[in-house]
Structure formats: C-alpha cells, structure tokens
Structure 1
C-alpha cells in the first residue's frame, strides 16, 4: 500500500511543500511528525524520500538544536516544491499544512490532545475531549451521544481540529454568539 499523495516523487514534493511553508529548520523526528499528521504519506515512504532529498541537495543540514540535527529546504528544493506542488491535490496540501502548523504550535506550547469514546451501560456513548498544556488541563469536556458512529465522528473532529473547538468553546462561553456566524 503506497502513500495517498502518490509515488516517491510526490512524497518528496509533499515534504518539500511542508518544509517551505513551515519556514523553519526541523529535526528528523519533528519533520516526520508533521508529515504523519494527516496519514497522506506512509512512514517508510517518508524515510526513503528524506534520504533521497538529502542526497539530491533538496534539503540540507542547517545546524543543531541540542544534539538533534536540523534540516532546511535548499534553493533547489524550493524550486522543485514551487514548480511541482500542483501535481498534488491542493486540498491535501492545505489540510496537511494546517495540521503541521497546529502540531508545531501545540508542540511549542507543550499541548497534548486527549480524546476517546466509551460505551455506557445504557447503550449510549461518552465522548471525552481534553487539551493538556504542560501538565495542566486547559480544556476538558465529556458529551453523551446516542451512537458509536456519532461518538467516533466527534472524536475524529476533535483530533483533527482541537484548536478550532477550543476557540469556539471560549467564544461561546464568553458570550460571543457571533462566533458561529464568523
């Protein structure tokens, strides 16, 4: 089973696009994490593409952060990303970039997303959602829903867009009912 973005060339374009738009050097683990946020690229494809991009001069070492080597996109890599990113659906690129930027912001702030759903004795389901920032719960809620499918969809939506749900809850609880219309 290959990556959703297509073959190895598209995997490289996908990674270069994210690196270009994130705009800061990243270590291998963080780069892997942002690429994996949307499951459009398989890990083995990413690992192979990473080494090929390094060998081809599309990315290069850009320093150290502690003991971790940081990597940045090169001018050659920028040229490839800019000229070929249209080979990948823009909706995949947009969703992936949004997820990558959120991941980096949450990582910088030390925010962990927690979400699960469990069946209750009465046959309904609890959907538990929380955001934990450096060990402190900053958002937590449990909703009771009528079906496993609804619980699963709500949990997926929270995992996909926790910052939107967090901002929305803040706005609504603060009395900004226009948030829904904005």
Structure 2
C-alpha cells in the first residue's frame, strides 16, 4: 500500500521523532510522543512504535520510567538530519509542539505531592512555581489519600484561584 504524506519510511519517522524530542519542554510519555508524531499521513503506528524502540536501543532516546527524553547523541544526530524533513511537516510539528509545551510547562509549575504521615494522616503539599522559581508551597493535613487526591486535582485545575484567595485573605485590612 502506498503511503501519502511526506514521511515514507522508518528512517523518516526516526528523524521526525528526534526533531520533536529535541524541542519538547520536558520528558513525554509514549502517547504524547505518538500524538506529536502522527502529524503526517505517512506515519503508521507499528512503524512509529518500532522506531521509538530502536531509538532507545541505539541510545538516541532514553526511557526513564514511562517518559522519554532525548540523549546528547540523539540531539546531535537529529540536528544533522532535520533538514531532510519537509518544511510543511516541521511547521506542523512546531504548531503541535507549542500546544504540548504549554501544557508541559504548566504541569511542571503546578504540582501536588501526597505524603503519608506516621500519625495516620496524609500531608498534601501544593506547589506553585513560575518561570523564576517558587511562588507558593502549602502543606495541608488531610484525613485520607482519597481526600488528598481530590484536593490535589482541584488545585491543579485552578492554582491561581487558591493563590489569589490566600493573598487576598492575608492582605485584608484587619480593622474592618
């Protein structure tokens, strides 16, 4: 079956993967990498999966837990080969990367950690950063991991709202 698109074989897919991995803001999971890579109609799933495995095997990518990062070897070889990708494919990749990188940066700046305590409670640590560093770290005692998980999810959805509420409370005029 003939392929449509600009990507025609596994080597093209590997170049595309290295191009993407050199530009993601942080390590990505397989699904995110797949989403980014299927920007061209010539990419087929099994060739993509095999290409990722081969890039890990050859030391171009590194798998840490469930997340992939590019190695120095991958970055160097990818830079040499990126001009072989069609301009329209690179442009589409760059648009998709902008979207994904926005999400990855936000996830890196808004974090929640659930820490068990010796006294049968759970500490929920809420962390809010910006580009310059930490804005807020808040430790809260919760009664269960389930409650901590729910609070963490709510925090991740609207961290600015909590920060603004705390700031507003602390800045209130006490004479009122």
TM-score range, shorter chain: 0.5 to 0.7
For the pair 1:93 / 2:59, whether they are aligned, the reply is no
| 8 Å contact from structure 1 (residues 37, 100) kept in 2 | no
- The answer for unaligned runs of 5 or more in structure 2 is 108-156, 158-176
Distance in 2 between the 1:103 and 1:38 partners?
17
Q: Deviations over 1:53-81 (max 9, x none)?
A: 0111100023x4xxxx1110001100111
Q: Deviations over 1:89-129 (max 9, x none)?
A: 1221121221233245368879xxxxxxxxxxxxxxxxxxx
Question: How many angstroms does 1:8 deviate by?
Answer: 1.1
Aligned length: 106
1:157 maps to what in 2?
none
2:99 maps to what in 1?
102
Which structure 2 residues correspond to residues 131-146 of structure 1 after superposition, within 5 A? none
1:42 maps to what in 2?
44
Distance in 2 between the 1:40 and 1:98 partners?
18
Please give the TM-score of this superposition, normalised by the length of structure 1: 0.51
Quick one: which of 49, 57, 60 aligns to 1:58?
Answer: 60
Distance in 1 between the 2:22 and 2:88 partners?
17
Larger radius of gyration: 2
